[in-house]
Chains A and B, each alone.
Chain A
């Protein structure tokens, strides 16, 4: 995929960092404000997709093919399972998805026990999944055109 004109490149360079930060904000504040892992993950993936569309696929290093993002995605879903399964070990009554961390004050950033952790893991999973699908379309198409 080829890049676009210099105007698009410059604007996307400025914007994609801001979009990335906004996605992280949405993920971290998932238990306080509307949003969460799914919405924030899609926004983070959007920042990367914007960068790739504007600059062409050569700018982002695609040497390792799709395995990088695919590995991140698989790792994130394994981490989700591990965090959920850790509730089975802790305490006298073990339960899958047990929220054994202290709850804290409602409304603080560090509260709600494991919910922020689940949000972060799901955010990584969703963003990596979307980038993987997008890269699959870009890379496999270039492979065919060669």
Chain B
């Protein structure tokens, strides 16, 4: 099930690179994002899936709005023999990579069944230590508080950067 969605996501990503029309490229890019949502749900991470589905929807809306305002011209690019060679090479690499990935990961224990000693120290006393019923929130705001502070700071810096770069006209003197 996970593998099918992963293959679909890779196909969507490749199509969005090769699409002639910008709008269809964006829609194909949406396959990647919403496929990731299903992946998170299968891997039992509802917190991440919630964030991913909202962010993906908003980015898709903004990108479609931007593309509808642009010229959206098709490029008359012909496929050179070099391009074909690159694509064939990528596919061979991809198939080999998937083969060895399967072979290596089949040795490991199943995802989520075996606990590390490190994670046991968080999972067992987690609810008692933090008082939070949702362990994820308990980890990100209590055990890993500095991480969250850093993430919030990164977001703040990103907004400052966008405001600085996007402001084409200077601020008026009042």
Do A and B interact with each other, yes or no?
A: yes
**Which of A7-15, A56-64, A111-119 lies on the face that meets chain B?**
A111-119
Given A73-B159, A136-B163, A136-B166, does the pair A34, B46 have CB atoms closer than 8 Å? yes
Could you tell me if A106 and B131 are in contact, using CB atoms closer than 8 angstroms? yes
Evaluate contact between A140 and B168: CB separation under 8 angstroms.
yes
B138 touches A112 (CB 8 A): yes
Q: In the assembly, what is the distance between CA of A140 and CA of B46, in Å? A: 36
| Binary A-proximity of B113-142 (CB < 8 A = 1, otherwise 0) | 000000000000001101111101110111
Whole-angstrom distance from the CB of B69 to the nearest CB of chain A? Answer: 9
A4 to B127 Cα, complex, angstroms: 48
Q: Which of A42, A104, A144 has the most CB of B within 10 A?
A: A42
Contact partners of A36 in chain B: CB under 8 A: 47, 134, 136-137, 140
Contact B50 A35 (CB under 8 A): yes
Please judge, given known A-B contacts A42-B54, A130-B58, whether A143 and B152 are in contact too, CB under 8 Å.
no
Return chain B residues, CB-CB under 8 Å to A129: 155-156, 158-159
The answer to whether B134 touches A34 (Cβ under 8 A) is yes
Given A36-B137, A103-B131, A112-B131, A125 and B54 contact (CB-CB distance below 8 Å): no
Nearest residue, chain B, Cβ from A50: B61
- Residues of A90-130 contacting chain B, CB below 8 A: 96-97, 99, 103-104, 106-107, 111-115, 118-119, 122, 125-126, 129-130
Q: Interface extent on B, as a size class?
A: 35 or more
Residue numbers in A under 8 Å from B62 (CB-CB)? 134, 137
Q: Does B145 contact A (CB under 8 A)?
A: yes
Closest residue on chain A to residue B143 by CB atoms: A97
**Is residue A55 contacting chain B, with contact meaning CB distance below 8 A?**
no
Q: How large is the interface on A (under 10, 10 to 19, 20 to 34, 35 or more residues)?
A: 35 or more
Asked if A89 is at the interface of the complex by the 8 Å CB criterion, the answer is no
Contacts of B162 in A (CB 8 A): 132-133, 136
| Residues of B in contact with A (beta carbons under 8 Å apart) | 46-47, 50-51, 54-55, 57-58, 61-62, 65, 127-128, 130-134, 136-138, 140-142, 145-146, 148-149, 151-153, 155-156, 158-159, 162-163, 166-169
11 A–B contacts from the bound complex (CB under 8 Å) = A80-B149, A81-B149, A97-B145, A106-B127, A107-B133, A112-B132, A112-B137, A118-B145, A129-B158, A136-B166, A136-B167
Known: A35-B50, A144-B169. 8 other contacts (CB 8 A): A30-B137, A31-B137, A33-B134, A46-B54, A70-B159, A106-B131, A112-B130, A115-B137
